[in-house]
Amino acid sequence: MKIIYFWLLIFVFLSACKDKTPSSGSDVEACGVKDPIRNLSWLKNKIDEAKDENQENILTVTMVTVREKQVINYYLSYMSCIGCVSYNCDGTPFDMGSLTDAERMAYQKNIWGDSKERVVLWPQK
């Protein structure tokens, strides 16, 4: 009987765990479009460039909100700067210099933390 309770507890625990990362890019809306990896041409081009250079496995693309605007961060794991390559929704570079120190710290924390502000666009599951 204890074995049954044990397995039931394990089953309940595993079924309660939810992945915060969307199951596919088509589930995500960012910058006013669904599936931003395919529907933001500048972002699609960036992802395609990473694929062409065999870097898609070390690439992370996240989206966070800064000053009520969505910002997309592009990070290759060999880069040493967190949040340095970021873009506005139109594909223009995001100017981190315009942020206060507190905003910059919050921005970087949101990019890498488990914040509800962070949405992982790439890698897709």
pLDDT in tens, 2-57: 665 445 445 444 444 444 444 445 578 999 999 999 999 999 999 999 999 999 99
DSSP the chain: -HHHHHHHHHHHHHHH---SS-SSGGG-EETTEESHHHHSHHHHHHHHHHHHTT-GGGEEEEEEEETTEEEEEEEETT---TT-SEEETTSPBP-GGGS-HHHHHHHHHHHHS--TT-EEEES--
Hey, how many other C-beta atoms are within 10 angstroms of the C-beta on 75? Answer: 20
Torsion of CA 103, 106, 112, 116, to 10 degrees: -120
Question: What band does 94 get if pLDDT is binned at 50, 70 and 90?
Answer: very high
Entry pTM: 0.74
